[in-house]
Amino acid sequence: MARWDGQGCCLSIAKEKPLSTRVIIVRHGESTFNVQERVQGHSDASSLTERGRWMAAQVGLALRGIPIRKIYTSPLKRAKETAAGIHAQLQDLELKPPHSLDLLKEIALPAWEDLPFAEVKTRFPEDYRRWQEAPETLMMKITTERGQTKEFFPLLDLYDRAGMVLEALLAAHENETIVIVGHSGMNRALICTGLGLGGQGLSAAPAGQRRHQCLKFQQRLAATSATGSAQSH
């Protein structure tokens, strides 16, 4: 059972001893594609702007003094640059440089990536409407390494990855505080997964202008895993 306590989320999972894992989730700073209003997804053509680097430094200053065990980051440039900026400001000599996790990449939107949002709306009106109204039904065709064409559901892939991330990191960091530097879509997926909201939690996941959120997981008897979702561009 999960609930908001005004600062983060508390999720009760069964274990023999009371344990608590604090997860600080940070979105990357302003990127070049944010300014240009382009779809980012898995594309790595976008990097932080000067303002984005300033944002990362401000988050690092805000977190200074918190006993952080490890920083995890998406391997995409805009997230890695943010994580590096945060790490530099923490000034913790014992804290290792951020560790990249492929699973933390943003939602994949292969047919739209690098395109301006305005062009996506014009070229793919039906798919864009589906994305806005029922994002879990959005399907794109992708080509496999063997040259075969297959159906790909971006939001379902995002849910799956968020669940795997939390399952692995909570098991590895009992009674510790960690930082995850990700993306708007992935971060919403992590929050919804932690809250146990599932696909219905898209509108309930906190968004807005805050660049970081704090989730607190309290664990009590035999471990269970939650699945959930979120969406963004």
**Percent helix / strand / coil, the chain, rounded to 5:** 40, 20, 40
- Cβ pair 78, 52 in contact under 8 A: yes
Q: By percentage, how much of the chain surpasses pLDDT 90? A: 70
* Of 116, 109, 112, the residue nearest 32 (C-alpha): 116
What pLDDT score does 194 carry? 87
Residue 7 has pLDDT above 90, yes or no: no
- Domains parsed from the chain with CATH numbers: 2-108+155-219 (3.40.50.1240)
Among 22-26, 172-176, 201-205, the least confident range: 201-205
Model confidence at 19, in pLDDT bands (50, 70, 90)? low
Check: pTM over 0.75? Answer yes or no: yes
DSSP class of residue 177 equals E
Q: What is the pLDDT of residues 141-150, one digit of tens each?
A: 998 888 889 9
Two structure tokens written together for 18: 């009371």
Q: What is the pLDDT of residues 185-209, one digit of tens each?
A: 999 999 988 888 765 555 444 444 4
